[in-house]
A and B are shown apart, each in its own frame.
Chain A
Amino acid sequence: MTNASSTTAAAIAPATVVAPLRSRGYWATVWLRLRRDKVSMGCAGLLLGLMLMALLAPWLAPHDPAQGVMSQRLAPIGTPGHWLGTDELGRDMLSRLMHGGRMSLVMGLLPVFIAFVVGTGLGVVAGFFGGWLNSVIMRTTDVFFAFPAVLLAIAISGALGAGFANAIISLTLVFIPPIARVAESITTSVRNLDFVDAARATGAGAFTLIRVHVLGNVLGPVFIYATSLVSVCMILAAGLSFLGLGVKPPVPEWGLMLNTLRQSIYLQPWVSVLPGLMIFITSLCFNLLSDGLRSAMDIKR
């Protein structure tokens, strides 16, 4: 009895909050709309290519990214054997850019992913239970909102010291509060809808209510919001490395490569800007894809 009514309520849930129910199903419709969007699909393809390139770098890269030839330092773009030139230690740029993608992509995606899990958890708990629990969680996030994001990330990283783990910690801390705030506001609006009351009246417990009725409505919009943060996180993570607060040399990472090549802008300017160009392309693709996903999910219009 309880089961039957909560499944019915779950089926109504997306209809009342997100979109009119279609025979195809909500997510199938979103996917169909996204597939028609050429810009989004182009960006998705490019990102997939970048990820594959980073993943397969040890097998694809023509040279060892850590092995430099001192006699071939700062070779220009187009040098035979080093098509994208070499860096200040004579290491092959193409190989380093391919390997650098591994660290840069992990540092752009991992903090947002952890913040998505933790932030949604905090936001849903705060929104669903309300009362003092809500006050404690949301007033704490208010404190983090009192800092500009870049400043907070650099302050925490600067105090903790350089390193991969510290950079991940500081970036995650920066992204939890905004995600928690979005999750809380959606949860609060869903909590009092009729279908949740109906499920509660049939005896569903808090855990079931959250799992079946709240999360189904909260996860989608929060996920979209989180995807829009990925590009910010990529830029910020590379920025930390650029300041010397991220990964340590000789690990190839786009931000760190940009930092060390900064000294060479008078000698080999166009080789020096390549790592930044990679950051730009990646973050642009994430932004465009996130925009496309948002409009694909906005079925009401």
Chain B
Amino acid sequence: MFAFIFKRILYAIPIALAVAAVCFSLVHLAPGDPLTAVIPADAPAEVVAAIKQAYGMDRPLVVQFGAWVQRALQGDLGLSVATGRPVMGDIALALGNTLLLAVAAAVIGFGGGIVLGTLAAFFNGRWIDKLATAIAITGVSVPHYWLGLVLVIVFSVQLDWLPSMGAGADGSGEWRWDWAHLQYLVLPAVTMCFIPMGIVTRTVRATVAEILNAEFVSALRARGLGALAITRHVAKNAAPTVLSVMGLQFGYLLGGSILVETVFSWPGTGFLLNTAIFQRDIPLLQGIILVLAMFFVALNLLVDVVQTLLDPRIKRS
């Protein structure tokens, strides 16, 4: 088991490097020179050369990549082409907001999904099962950015209960745990919770239903154990599968929040990414993708390790 965990951790290193390479190559995927945004069209050749040198773009690609990785490891992701500020500071600030939103959406989505999925499995074929299945399929089919707009129309435009955009009334961007700030979190978090809720409901329902059919559960019932004790046994056996799905979904919440953040002008990484795309600010784009992808790599690693610890029978190639 520990040999597997060790191998899994070692395997994350080449993956992380390859991910960094993909992020790095994004610059060269972009049409035209990555510095066109800062160099005027009529700039003399020596000025162009000087700027290229300042951004380190006059050296061979492999050297650039090596230097980039080295600096990234020290937390330096370069300067924004649009603002001239270090990219890392902006990303760190935005990442906090995105994490807040993702955790809120995960709490609602995972909690709802576990309850609905368990109920659906225990009451197989009854109305609650049908309801849970309907919610699950709707959750995975609904374009969440559209759902966000509908919620804004109902709760902000029509009812005027909740604010529709931003993360705080004063616009300082500083988060505090009071209703004045929390109310900004409600709509985006509810919007984002639907996909993970649908997927967790499906997973829990299938896993729990399978366990309930297992012989050992019949044996427990025959011995006269109550519903609570049986639920405890079922939960223990369902945990590895459900946890791995939730880990993956949390990663998607972090990396896939761009559309919802754009709808609600939530000042997170997705909103920043949107800005980077439209200002053609490639260093910023590169930095955000790298940070989010590294989070995802680490999360996948964590899920695999936790899953192995919970259920040592799991052996993978």
Residue of A238, A243, A272, A273 touching B277 (CB-CB under 8 A)? A243
Closest to A285 in B: B141
| B141 contacts A231, C-beta separation under 8 Å | yes
**Considering the chains assembled together, what is the distance between the CA atoms of A237 and B52 in angstroms?**
35
Residue interface bits A234-277, CB-to-B below 8 A is 1, else 0: 01001100111100000000000010001001100110110011
Q: Does A201 contact B (CB under 8 A)?
A: no
Give Cα distance in the complex from A243 to B270, angstroms: 11
Quick check: is B29 within 8 A (CB to CB) of the other chain?
yes
Q: Are A265 and B152 in contact (CB under 8 A)?
A: yes
A224 to B90, CA, bound (A): 43
Can you identify 6 A-B contacts, CB atoms within 8 angstroms? A143-B15, A146-B19, A148-B252, A148-B255, A243-B277, A258-B146
Q: Are B252 and A150 in contact (CB under 8 A)?
A: yes
Question: How many chain A residues touch B (Cβ–Cβ < 8 Å)?
Answer: 41
Where chain A touches its partner, the secondary structure class is helix
* A221 contacts B by Cβ under 8 Å: no
0 or 1 for each of B146-184: is its CB under 8 Å from A? (1 = yes): 110110110001100000000000000000000000000
Q: Is A238 a contact of B137 with CB atoms below 8 Å?
A: no
A142 CB-CB contact with B under 8 Å: yes
Instruction: State the CA gap A159–B284 with chains docked (Å).
Output: 11
What number of residue pairs across chains A and B have CB atoms under 8 A from each other?
131
B120 within 8 A of A: no
Assess whether B78 is interfacial by the CB under 8 Å rule: no
Complex interface: chain A residues within 8 A of B19 (CB): 143, 146-147
Residues of A within 8 A of B (CB): 142-143, 146-151, 154-156, 158-161, 231, 235, 238-239, 242-245, 258, 262, 265-266, 269-270, 272-273, 276-277, 279-280, 283-284, 286-288, 291
> Closest approach, in angstroms, between the C-beta of B151 and any C-beta of chain A?
11
A245-B277, A291-B137 known; A146-B15 Cβ under 8 A: yes
Q: Residue on B with the closest CB to A287? A: B141
Residues of B within 8 A of A284 (CB): 137-138, 141-142
